[in-house]
Structures are given as structure tokens and as C-alpha cells.
Structure 1
Amino acid sequence: MAYTTARLFSTVVTQTFFRDIQVIGQENIPKDGPLLLFGNHNNQFIDPLLIISNIPRKVHFIAAAKSMKRPIIGHLGKALGGIPVERPQDLAKRGFGTIQRIDGNMVYGLRTEFKSQCKVNDILVANEQEFQITEIISDTQLKINNHGQIDSPIRNLQYKIQPKIDQSNMFEQVWIELSKGACIGIFPEGGSHDQTRLLPLKPGICIMALGASQKFNTKVKLQPVGLNYFKGHKFRSKVIIEFGVPYEVSQELIDLYAKNKREAISNLLYEIESQLKTVTIQAPTYSDLSAVMIVRSLYLPDKARLSAQDNLELVKRFSSAFYKLENHPEVKEVVSQVKMYNYKLKALGVYDYQVMRMEKNTFQDIYKIAFNLFMALLSLSFALPGYIMTIPISLLLNTYTERERQKALANSKVKLSGKDVIASYKILASILIVPGAIAIYTILFHYALKKWNFISKEKQLKLTLIFFLLWPLYITAMIRSNDGLIRHSRKVKSQILFYLYQSKYRKLKKSRELLQDRIRKMVDMLGENVVADFKKKRVFSFDAKKDNLDIDNVFCSLEELGI
């Protein structure tokens, strides 16, 4: 019952926050049997909620013990059967004194208390690097495994000590659950982040899979799940979830694990990383990721309609091409031109699809402007009261999430701007703020009815109750109406800008057509270098004969119907 309620809550939250959730590969999910589900971690608490609300079987997620102790997320995690794991970075303590210098394997401190604060095998964190402590000589001297991380001496550093944690109880719990045929969810990157590619994976998932197979003779399946966000930190954004093909841990790896744990874990970790890359979009930077999305848009013709799976596959192929062929002169030139085109789009305040569809037809343009303006005003008139009432809520949410973003960024070595925590804290804060706002507005409404005193007390109570029940429903409808307002406003803006700056837009459209032609030729020329047997595995074909054949089939179908 608790899990069902928590899953329903996850569905409501994710469906409200995201405008578009597309799921690929649900048919790949095994209906029963031990399963390790692993995914990328780019949106903190939102990631497990999305998976739980889009998978038919019960999932026990590995969650940071620190998160499980938090007020709301902790209760939700327990209801979902989460398995807590202590992370060394969550238990790190600031060291007394300062590190004067690190020379080779020797650490020299000033006013430090290494003997009381440190233990052998603990981790010393200094200069944003981690070193395992191998020997404690005195309160001011200890030895570390440097491994050549620091070539030259460093001086006068603040430092932290991360304790070595025994995770044997946690692994034992996971192995037992897997032996019972449970599904375990894990994010092998460790913590969430906002980078455009995977972080180095932690070996814990390998110990879970290989340990269960060895100890309980359990054939564990592993399944990658890709959470591909499109501005996932923003309210009403889009996400594509892809469940990859599950596979069993090979017997060779299980046998190797009994003889050489390090080598077996290393081999399996490489395999897991490779599988995770097949269901996620990878790019060196956000600029490159933006270029990939523009290239996908340019490559396809205007009226092409691809499935979510084909769309995602096309993005992944272009992303893979940028990695594999980054030094190819043609690819470098195209990427450079695409980035310049993207810069021009932003400078003019339009989107690529708007440039693609710009054709001067005075009558049609006036009709489009009038229609979209009418729809925008209609949406605005419905949503305006909601905007006014939610201004205080928005201000509180933005202030709170910005503070938490800065805090998360300051405490992380891998976050670029801390955007991965924004959506989570918006939702967590909303759970507290929105019910409070409903109560306040209901009280104010009742007070206004009493002050005006134009109806009886009985009717005042009835209207107050109706307001209390309808206000959440109205806000939900207002959110949907706001989607329409944004969509129609963009269309009006692009049409007006086109008339104001016709010459610039015509030049932009001409450069778009030239760039589009160049991208298609590049794909034809280099496709085999990225995808084996490319001609047979094309996501989209520009074969004119195929179009003619489709038209002939249509006429044949009409003839069969006697038309």
C-alpha cells in the first residue's frame, strides 16, 4: 500500500513538472527475476521518481543515507523500499589546523591532530584531490598514496577527512533482495551532476551483481535506463526515458570474480558504462549538445515525423559522430557553422523550426498572427488570475532553489552550475508551500465573503469549501493553459519579427538551406564511419522513389475501396 501510494505521488509530481514524458523500450523490462536497473544521474531526486512512475514492477533504489534522513524525501524513500548507503563524502569532517605541504607521499601539518582525527585507509581530501592514508606518524605527519597526483609541493591548505566505511551490510542486503528476485535501482555515477557526459562509474554495482551471482548462485540481469532531459531543470520541460536491452552477467566474469575480483569488476564496469552510453545522449559541452540538437533539426525535412525512439537514436548518432570524427576537417567545419547559426538564432530571438517554416504570404501571415494572438489572449485571460495568485509562491520557490543550488555547487567538485538540484528542490518546496498557499487563499476568500456579507453564513461556508476544492484543479488547468500561451506567443513573435527584419531572416533561411544540404552530404559521406552497414540502418531516408511508392499505394487502397 505504501509503495503504491508513493508511486502514485511520483506519477503526479513528474506529470505536473514535465510537459512531455516519452518512454522508449518498456517492453524490454523483465517481468520478474533478479534485476539491476542502472541509469545516469542528472536530476537528483527526480531521476528515481521518473523511473518508478514508468516501470511496471517494484524497484528498490539504492539511496544516500543522508537523503533518507531528510524530512520529505526520506519518508518517500522508505515508502518505496529504498536501501540506504553511507557515502564517505557525506561523513567528511574538516581537519584541524592546515596542511603545510605535501612532498611525495609525506604530508606535513601545522597544528593538526592526525592521530585523533585520522585512521589508516581514511581519505584525505586536499586541493580538490583524494589521497588514501597509509600510515599516521604523528599529529603533524602522515603518509599517503600519492600515485603521482601532485608533482610539485603544495602549501597551506585546508583539508577534510573522509572515513573508510564498511559497506558489507548494505551489499548483503542487496544480495538477499536479488536472490528473492527483486529489482534494485542504482545510479552508478554516485551523486547527481549537471555535466553533459557520464562521470566515472563507482564499482558498487559490479560487487552487487557479481557478489549475488557468486554467493546465492543467482543469475542477475542488468538493464540500462537513459534519462535524457531537455532543459530538465525547467518547469514544463521534456524528458525521454529509454529502457535498454537487459543482459545477464556472463559465467566467465563470475568465475573470474572468484579468482581476481579487481579484474572482474574492472571488466564489468567497462561493459556497464558502454551499455549506459547506448541509452543516453553524450556531448563534451553544453555548446556541443546544443549543436547536436540543431544538426538533428537541420538534417530532417520540414514534414518529417519520427517516433520518439527514432528521434533519440538520431540525436545519439550525431553525438557519437562528433566524438568519433571530432578531428575530421568536414565535421569541424560543419560544427563551427552550426554553432554560428545557433548564435544568430539566439540573437534574433527565434527557433530553428520557425526559420524553416517562414514563407511570405500576406493573407496567410495575417491570419496566423490574428489566430495565434487570439489564442494567446484567450489562454492569458484564463491563466491571469492564477499568475497573480502564484506570484508569491514563485518568488519563494525561486529564492529557495537558488540558495540550495549555490550550496550544492559549493559542496561539489563535479557540478558545473548546480542545475541538477533545481527541479528537486522546487518540488520539495512546493509540497510544503502549495498546501499552505491553498489554506491562506481559502481563509482570505472566506474573510472577503464575511466582510461583504451579501449571502448567508451557510452559503459562505459552502462557497469556501467549493473554493478550497476547486483552487488546486484551477491551478492545474492554468499550468496547461500556460503551455498554450507560450506556444502561441512564440508564433506571434516570430511572425512579427519576420516582417520587421525580412532581409535578415531571408539571409538566415538561405544560410540554413546551404547548411542543411552540407549536413546531409556529410552524413552520406561519413555515415559508414559511425554506423556499421549505414545504408540499411538509416533512421531516415531521402529516397524519392519511396515517396512515389507510398503515393501509388494510397491510390491502390482507394481503388480497393471502390473510389
Structure 2
Amino acid sequence: MAKKLFIPPLIGWLYDLILWTFSVLIDLFFREVHPRGSWKVPRRGPMIIVAAPHANQFVDSLILMRVIRTEVHRRISWLIAAKSFDRKFIGLLAKGIGAVPVARAMDNMKLSEGAVYLPDPIHEPTLLRGIGTKFDGPEFEPEGTIALPTVNGTSHSATIAEIRGPEELLLKKPFRGRDPLYQLTGRTDITDDGKFAGDTAHQDLSGFKGSKFKVAPHVNQTAVYEAVFARLNMGGCIGIFPEGGSHDRPDLLPLKAGVAIMALGSLAENSNSGLKIVPCGMNYFHAHKFRSRAVVEFGNPIEVPVELVEQYKRGERREAVSALLDTIYHALLAVTVTGPDYETLMVIQAARRLYNSKGKKLPLPMVVELNRRLVKGYTHFKDDPRIVKLKNSVADYNKQLRLLGVGDHQVDYAKFSIIQVFFTLIYRLIKLTVMSIGTLPGLILFAPVFVATKVISNKKSKEALAASTVKLQGRDVMATWKLLVALAFAPAVYAFYTIIFTYWTYRNRIQGIVPEWVPLWLIVLIGVALFPSITFAALRVGEVGMDILKSLRPLVLSLNPSSANTLVKLRKRRAELSREVTDVINTLGPELFPDFDSSRIVVDPFRELNPHREADGERLHKLRRSSTGYSDEESALPRNESFHDLANIGFFSTRPSSRSRSRSNSSGGHAGSGGFPLKAFSQLNSKDSFDKVSKKIRDAMRERGQERRRRSEDFSWDMASSGSRTPSTAEEDKKDR
């Protein structure tokens, strides 16, 4: 019988207190966290939130907890690895927020003696034999896991079906793919999809001695599922990262079956509960770096089909779980930006900047959406010769940028005159000097914390990388450890400063500066508020200063005769690439997106504009200004872009737009309304008459569609370019994300 699992209760005030404490650190670590689509999340009833990619270990949970608490006013019960639950500090916090501990096979992996191989991978692909192994030992059991050494950042594993002896067992499913089959056979004639192209007659396998392996016992999750069912039956919200663990890959890992079993099992017990599965995309820009940005996007809730629940009840669980996992996976793809590899993702981001050749500032959610559409387009057309040629050209352009040490947005400096470059450089040097002086006190005070977080996070990253089978560089744990170290170390450092400050006052009244009537308890309060304030002020000033510092290199290159010409050539190359990218997107885009023109994010900068339409557009802008009370400089977006909630901005609101703006509005024949100006009916007394009327209708609809698209593009630009920007945010938003 499964051991009864103790689940700490979710105590509301304790949950909120822990969340508030860490929210302060989230605000310090991230420059912006934008929620998108949170209006789609149910306000009540049982719900499972599936979030991916899991790129930031415990930080992902904190960010999502904050967004859900702020936007939806709900609390999340997270499923957390039992390994983390057993840690002192992390375990204490997990119990405080009512998390559910889950034992994972990967946490119990141990290196086993001997080696394994596949004796007949073609006719008996599930038969696994050992050399010097003890499969009949206590650590081996049916439903246990066999894992191979990590190759190319991935460790492949399989489940044990039957143990036949000390050196022979059967697997439930065969190993798939080139890497695991090479490890288990030593053969080199293996295709990417795991097929053998030749035979062993022409290969020398005398040196093959099998592969080392790890083993983990079967983990009984019955108690976990029962606890989750109980929480869902009470109308609770369960949070889970279905990839099974954090990682730093550019694509999603295969989803674990647990989330599907939880949903189907819960509905099998209570089919009328109204359970929803909400996909959530965690989209970061340099997730491990200090003062980075994030967009948390929610997709449409998934209602589990009744047919799958019935199939699950009939005992066809594998089929039902597989079908639901496939639905969840595709729902996650719709709210995340993933790529086949890091280089391709960098090429796609560069293409996004080249497509937005006018340099208009796009709000962060629009950047994520444009990246997603480009990834989808690349995946669909990746074998097209035009895409292959364009990818190589953009990759070469990225390489030139790296060699010069400049950003894409800084290439435009090449068009400045020498005088303009010189005075811009002098002005920024003076500004940087002043900011450095203002930043210095806070930098000195915060230096011990900064050094400690850097050293410890790097150490933990290396440890996590060595212990993982899926991580590439271990960056997914860096942000977590930076926050944890700062949370523990910063208060101690500031307490030490306050003690020194108070003692100095007690000793000689800070060289006689502090009057005798000032009590020491007031000095303590001043110290508690003063030192963190100095650090925070230095943080904000230093943020702008770093942006200015990064902008100096292209200015210096522009003054250097040997490199200035290179920069000029690079600018011309960028203009050519921009046109190529735009042409390819405008050609292939409509094939993939039927509403390509009407739902544009970025207007085509190379389209021929009609003077009459420009005049109409100007009248439309005037009409909009008169109706909203905003000028061009004060339109939709607030002046300060570093706000926490974009829900009030209709363009990418987390709430649905007003029904009064529906395209089906039949208010009459006014421009832009849903109604048509009515005229007398034509007589349809012949085929020719019918064809003429049909042609007129098609022409009228085409003209209205073009007008609507033009207005949508103009409005998008008006929305994206409004609001003032500080120099720091303007520079930062143009950088490669």
C-alpha cells in the first residue's frame, strides 16, 4: 500500500507574506515582467496551470505566483521535486506555500556496475544485455529506469519491462535516435531518426565494449495523485512544469505524462468538476542576467474531451494520456518562443529586427509575438532555398556584428557625420562620468553581495550541469541562486553597515556632525533606510550608465578610419538584408497566415504609399486625437514604459476588448463601421447581370479590406511609437534579445 503523503496546507496569509518578500527581489532582478492574456485564466474552479519552458528553476514559480495573485487573485499549489522539498531553506518555503512534493526517478539515479548493449537492435530492439551486470540485484525492478551517459547535452533513458536474469532484461520501449543506438551498438550507419542504413559486415566492432549506464528504482506516485485530486476537488489551482525539470535549452523538452494523468484521473473521479488546463509560456530575454525582461503569456484554457476521459476509464490509459499530452504540447508551443537550436533562434531574432527596419519601438509582448510567428514560419519553410540562403546571410551578418563588438541597433551610427559622432561621444563620456560618480557609493556598498552572488551562482551552475542529463550550460539555476544568496546575504551586510554607522555616532557623533540631542535609536532607523536606498539609487543610475557605456564602442569605431569604412559597409549590408527579409516574409507569410496583412505587427517599410491614402491616414489620426484627447506624443502608451501591468493598454490587453468595437457592429455605413451604405437593389435578370454585381461586391470588399489593413497598420505604429523613452530604455529595447 502506498505511503500516505503529507501535504502542508496552503495558508493564505503565509503564502502572501512569502510572495511579497520575494516580489521585492523579483522587482530588483527583472527590469520588466509583462503579463499577457491573463483574462483567459478562470477566476474560480479547479485548474491546472502548465508552464514552459522551465528556464529559471524556482524563479519561474515566483513570477507566475505573483502574476496569478495580482491578475487573477488566486493562489497556486506547486508540484515540487521531493529533492528540493527536503532542503532546509527551500523546503521551508515550499511548505509555507502549500507545495506538493513529488519524487522523481532522475533524482535517484545511481551509476551501476558493468556495461549494456543491444545484441539485435533490428529484430529485438527491446532486448538489452549486460556485461558484468547484476540485473537481478535489489536496485533493479520492473518499471525502473535505465539511463545512458549524456551525449550532446541529452541522456536517453528507457523503462524496464521484465528482468530475465543477471545479464538480460526487456525494455518497455526501444531506444530511439542516433546517439543512444550508437552508444548501445557501436555502429556508425545510423540515420537521425534511428534507422540502420547498412550492415555490420563492413564495420569493425571489435573495440565496442558496451555502454556505461545508470539505474533508478520505480517511484510509486499514487500518494501524489491522490493529494492532487483532493486539492482539485476543492476547486484549487495546481501548478506544474510538465517538462519535469529546469533546463536552458532553446526548445521544449518532451512532456512528462504526470500532468495528463492528473487531469484525466481527476475528471474520472468527478466528471462534472469543470477542470481546465491553462497553458502558460515563460518567455525570457537573457533569463539568467540581472535586470532582464520577461513576458508571461497565457493561452486559451483546455477542456479535456469527454471521449478521452471515457477512454481513460475503460483502461486505455496510455492512448488517452498520449492524446492529451499532444494537445498540451501544441498549446504550449502557441505561447512560447522556441527554436531547434540557439544559433537559429539568434538568426530569427536578427530577422525580426531587420524586418522592423524603421526602428520603431515595439512593446515587449509584440516582440514576443513577432518572434513566435517568425519561428513558425521558419519551421514551415526551413527547406525552401530562399529561407536557407537568407538564414546563411543573416548568420553571417550576426558574425560580423560579434567581430566588431557592436549591436544591430548601433550600425546606424555609421550614417553620422564625423562632427556629430565626435560631439555625441564627448557628451556621452561626460554623462557617463557624472553617473559613475553617482553610482560609486552604492556600488561599493553592494560589492560584497554582488561578488558572493556571482561566485556562488557560478558554482551551483557547474554542479547542476554535472548532475543533469538535459542542461547545456546550467544557466537555469543561476537566477535562483543569485536571488537566494542576495536574500540571505544582503540583510546581513546592511545590518553590519548599520551597526558600524551607529557605533560611529556613539563614539564621536560622526566627527561632531550629528548633534547630541539625536538619539541612537533614530540613527539605527536612518541606517536601515539609508543603505538600501543608496544601493537602489545606484542600481537605477548604473542601469542607464551601462547602456551608455555599451554605446561608446561604435562611436569610437566611427572615428577610426580603419574601421569606419567597415561600419559603413555593414550598414549598407544591413539595408540590403532588411529588404531581403521583408520580401521573403511578405511572399511566404500569406501562405502560412491567411490574415497576414490584416494582423500585421510591423508595417511593410518598402510598400508604395498612395498620397490620397496618406492624406486619409492623416485625417484618421486627427479624428483619433480629437476623440481620445491625446496628441501624437501622448497616444496610447504611458510615458514610463517600466510599469508592472499592461492591462489598461487595449492593444495587448490582458482583458478582451469592448464589444462595441466588434467588426460586426451594424451601426451604419460610416467609415470603419460594420455596416454597409444601402442602395437600391440591382435587377438580376441574366447571368451577365449576376456576374457584374458579384464583381462589384468583390471589388468593394477588397477595397474595404485594404482600407482596414492600412488603418490597422497605422494604428499599430501609432501605438508602438507613442510615449517618451529614456535613453537607457531606448538603447536597451533595440538590443539583441
Normalised by the length of structure 2, the TM-score is 0.71
What are the residue-to-residue correspondences of 1:117-136 with 2, within 5 Å? 117-127=139-149, 128-136=155-163
Q: Is the 8 A contact 2:147 2:213 kept in 1?
A: yes
The one of 205, 217, 221 equivalent to 1:167 is 221
Query: For 2:614 and 2:93, how far apart are their aligned partners in 1?
Result: 52
Q: Could you give the per-residue CA deviations for residues 449-480 of structure 1, whole angstroms, max 9, x where no partner exists? A: 56666345965664354223321222122211
Query: For 1:384 and 1:497, how far apart are their aligned partners in 2?
Result: 28
What residue number does 1:481 align with?
541
* AA partner of residue 518 (structure 1): E
* AA partner of residue 238 (structure 1): R
Q: Is the 8 A contact 1:135 1:142 kept in 2?
A: no
Q: Secondary structure at the match of 1:225?
A: strand
Q: Secondary structure at the match of 1:184?
A: strand
What residue number does 2:581 align with?
519
What residue number does 2:450 align with?
394
1:99 is the counterpart of 2:115: yes
Q: Report the CA distance between 1:279 and its aligned residue.
A: 0.6
The one of 589, 611, 618 equivalent to 1:551 is 618
Query: For 2:159 and 2:581, how far apart are their aligned partners in 1?
Result: 50
The one of 402, 410, 413 equivalent to 1:354 is 410
Q: Secondary structure at the match of 2:551?
A: helix
1:152 is the counterpart of 2:214: no
Query: For 2:491 and 2:345, how far apart are their aligned partners in 1?
Result: 38
What residue number does 1:115 align with?
137
What residue number does 1:195 align with?
249
Q: Could you give the per-residue CA deviations for residues 39-87 of structure 1, whole angstroms, max 9, x where no partner exists? A: 1111111111111111131111111111122233222222222111111
The one of 31, 38, 43 equivalent to 2:56 is 43
Q: Report the CA distance between 1:486 and its aligned residue.
A: 1.0
* AA partner of residue 619 (structure 2): D
* AA partner of residue 617 (structure 2): D
1:530 is the counterpart of 2:589: no
What residue number does 2:82 align with?
65
What residue number does 2:308 align with?
253
What are the residue-to-residue correspondences of 1:267-306 with 2, within 5 Å? 267-306=323-362
Q: Secondary structure at the match of 1:7?
A: helix
Higher mean C-alpha displacement, 86-95 vs 161-170: 86-95
1:52 is the counterpart of 2:69: no
What residue number does 2:40 align with?
28
What residue number does 2:459 align with?
403
What are the residue-to-residue correspondences of 1:456-467 with 2, within 5 Å? 462-467=522-527
Query: For 2:614 and 2:291, how far apart are their aligned partners in 1?
Result: 36
Q: Is the 8 A contact 2:413 2:554 kept in 1?
A: no
Q: Report the CA distance between 1:165 and its aligned residue.
A: 1.2
Higher mean C-alpha displacement, 126-135 vs 322-331: 126-135
Q: Report the CA distance between 1:7 and its aligned residue.
A: 2.0
Higher mean C-alpha displacement, 350-359 vs 322-331: 350-359
* AA partner of residue 394 (structure 2): V
Q: Report the CA distance between 1:359 and its aligned residue.
A: 3.1
Query: For 1:387 and 1:558, how far apart are their aligned partners in 2?
Result: 45
What residue number does 1:79 align with?
96
RMSD: 2.7
Higher mean C-alpha displacement, 101-110 vs 70-79: 101-110
What residue number does 2:491 align with?
435
Higher mean C-alpha displacement, 100-109 vs 22-31: 100-109
What residue number does 1:384 align with?
440
Q: Is the 8 A contact 1:317 1:530 kept in 2?
A: no
What residue number does 1:223 align with?
278
Query: For 2:413 and 2:38, how far apart are their aligned partners in 1?
Result: 35
Q: Secondary structure at the match of 2:239?
A: strand
Query: For 2:407 and 2:128, how far apart are their aligned partners in 1?
Result: 57
Q: Is the 8 A contact 1:102 1:155 kept in 2?
A: no
* AA partner of residue 551 (structure 2): K
Query: For 2:434 and 2:241, how far apart are their aligned partners in 1?
Result: 44
What residue number does 2:19 align with?
7
Q: Is the 8 A contact 2:108 2:217 kept in 1?
A: yes
Higher mean C-alpha displacement, 306-315 vs 509-518: 306-315
Query: For 2:433 and 2:568, how far apart are their aligned partners in 1?
Result: 29
Give the percent of matched residue pairs that are identical in Structure 1 and Structure 2: 29
Q: Is the 8 A contact 1:72 1:428 kept in 2?
A: no
Q: Is the 8 A contact 2:161 2:172 kept in 1?
A: no
For the structure 1 residues 530 and 250, does the alpha-carbon distance in structure 2 shift closer, same or farther, using more than 3 Å as the test? same
What is the number of residues matched between the two proteins? 560
Q: Is the 8 A contact 2:81 2:104 kept in 1?
A: yes
Query: For 2:464 and 2:379, how far apart are their aligned partners in 1?
Result: 30
Query: For 2:614 and 2:25, how far apart are their aligned partners in 1?
Result: 43
For the structure 1 residues 352 and 114, does the alpha-carbon distance in structure 2 shift closer, same or farther, using more than 3 Å as the test? same
Q: Report the CA distance between 1:300 and its aligned residue.
A: 0.9
Query: For 2:172 and 2:276, how far apart are their aligned partners in 1?
Result: 37
Q: Report the CA distance between 1:530 and its aligned residue.
A: 2.6
For the structure 1 residues 311 and 113, does the alpha-carbon distance in structure 2 shift closer, same or farther, using more than 3 Å as the test? closer
Query: For 1:552 and 1:402, how far apart are their aligned partners in 2?
Result: 57
Query: For 1:315 and 1:263, how far apart are their aligned partners in 2?
Result: 33
Q: Is the 8 A contact 1:59 1:185 kept in 2?
A: yes
Query: For 1:194 and 1:558, how far apart are their aligned partners in 2?
Result: 46
Q: Report the CA distance between 1:111 and its aligned residue.
A: 7.3
Unpaired runs of at least 5, structure 1: none
Query: In proportion to residue count, which structure has more strand?
Result: 1
Unpaired runs of at least 5, structure 2: 1-12, 121-126, 150-154, 176-180, 187-207, 632-737
Query: For 2:417 and 2:556, how far apart are their aligned partners in 1?
Result: 13
Q: Is the 8 A contact 1:62 1:83 kept in 2?
A: yes
Query: For 2:262 and 2:240, how far apart are their aligned partners in 1?
Result: 10
Q: Report the CA distance between 1:509 and its aligned residue.
A: 0.6
Q: Could you give the per-residue CA deviations for residues 491-538 of structure 1, whole angstroms, max 9, x where no partner exists? A: 333323322232121111100000001111101111123323323332
Q: Is the 8 A contact 1:302 1:357 kept in 2?
A: no
Q: Could you give the per-residue CA deviations for residues 82-115 of structure 1, whole angstroms, max 9, x where no partner exists? A: 11111111123343x3337664524335374843
Larger Rg belongs to: 2
Q: Is the 8 A contact 2:357 2:578 kept in 1?
A: no
